[in-house]
Amino acid sequence: MEPTSPTDIRIAEHVSRALSEQAPVVALESTVIAHGLPYPINLETSLACESVVRQHGATPATIGIIDGVPTIGLSEDEIKLFAARQAPDGRPIGKVGLNNLASVMARGAWGATTVASTLRLAHAAGIRVFSTGGIGGVHRGAAETFDISADLTALGNTPLICVCAGGKAILDLPKTVEYLEMLGVPLLGYCTDEFPAFYSRSSGRTVDARIETLDEAAGIAERHWRICSSTAVLVCAPVPAEFEIAPDEIEIAIDKAMITATRQGIRGKALTPFLLAELERLTGGKTLEANRALLVNNASVAARVAVSLSR
């Protein structure tokens, strides 16, 4: 790997080659590896996402911060370190959003990037498609806590296609959808009329447009960017049906997890990882299976979008 740009980022050679050939590239985040899933399923899932992107003819670029350097295209050995949440010298690998990105870089630390920081870094590298599990959004109780994910900020000022299974079910999804509308981010439902609810395929909220093919996603994004050159386009792919958890079942678990979080005083950055881990426990691992399935599904959708966009 070699430094490629004046903006302090490092692009792995295979990624920079693909970009220079205008070949399809899909960015992937590292917070979901380090803080969203337990070891070792996080490692296996991350490598499965990379592999499904390659199977569809695109180049995966998992993004994370190594010794203060945002790295576009982690190697398998580097992904292993993120999965174990530990730098080679034993330093922990924390969660890095937009607020702490620059300080982590300045300190020369390692960091796992969220949707927000991955979007910004992918854009800086010239990548146009990004895949995640579920975006962050407006948290339940936000009227009191003001806890709204910087993922929404980044979606409002970064022109990438972001593939997701909707918003994480732990959020206030109706408010999240309103917020995305305010930002002017188009919500495209891939073979669905509804904004998906992560573990469940429906949320009761509609998307802006249903699409049946991923060429349509690329076509809409190109038109969107000609007029609104700074916002993301969200492609929403519901969790594969065989892994769906019924909305009422997951609601009961979320209510319990939220009560535990409040009781233990868990807030801010720690809330999302805590709730995801609690849900896994409360559903006997069902949320984990769903999470893995939707991540791999989204990576496959993103690869096909990237291929279409590069034509």
Interacting residues toward ligand PSU by CB under 6 A: 29, 31-32, 35-36, 114-116, 132-134, 136, 149-151, 168, 269, 272, 276, 291
Query: Which of the choices Mn ion, ligand PSU, none does residue 196 contact, using the CB cut-off of 5 to 8 A by kind?
Result: none
Whether the Cβ atoms of residue 274 and residue 228 lie closer than 8 Å to each other: no
Instruction: Output the six-digit token pair for 41.
Output: 């399923």
- The least CB distance from residue 13 to ligand PSU, in Å, is 26
- The least CB distance from residue 207 to ligand PSU, in Å, is 19
Question: What is the per-residue binding string for Mn ion in 72-91, x denoting contact by CB under 5 A?
Answer: --------------------
Tally the residues of the chain.
311
Whether the Cβ atoms of residue 30 and residue 309 lie closer than 8 Å to each other: no
143-162 residues in contact with Mn ion (CB under 5 A) are: 147
Q: Which candidate in 78, 95, 168, 280 is catalytic?
A: 168
Is 277 exposed, middle or buried, given 0-12, 13-18 or 19+ CB atoms closer than 10 A? middle
Is 29 one of the catalytic residues?
yes
- The least CB distance from residue 94 to ligand PSU, in Å, is 12
When the beta carbons of 19 and 148 are compared against ligand PSU, the nearer one is 148
Is 246 exposed, middle or buried, given 0-12, 13-18 or 19+ CB atoms closer than 10 A? exposed
When the beta carbons of 80 and 175 are compared against Mn ion, the nearer one is 175
- The residues with which 151 forms a beta bridge, in sequence order, are none
Q: Distance between alpha carbon 311 and the CA centroid of its chain, in Å?
A: 24
Query: Which of the choices Mn ion, ligand PSU, none does residue 35 contact, using the CB cut-off of 5 to 8 A by kind?
Result: ligand PSU
Query: Which of the choices ligand PSU, Mn ion, none does residue 30 contact, using the CB cut-off of 5 to 8 A by kind?
Result: none
Check residue 289 for interaction with Mn ion (CB under 5 A).
Answer: no
- The least CB distance from residue 139 to Mn ion, in Å, is 6
Neighbours of 251 (CB within 10 A): 14
Degrees to nearest 5, angle at CA 109 with 44 and 275: 50
When the beta carbons of 260 and 310 are compared against ligand PSU, the nearer one is 260
Q: Which candidate in 29, 244, 280, 289 is catalytic?
A: 29
Residues 6+ apart with CB under 8 A from 177: 167, 187, 195, 203, 205
Active site residues: 29, 168
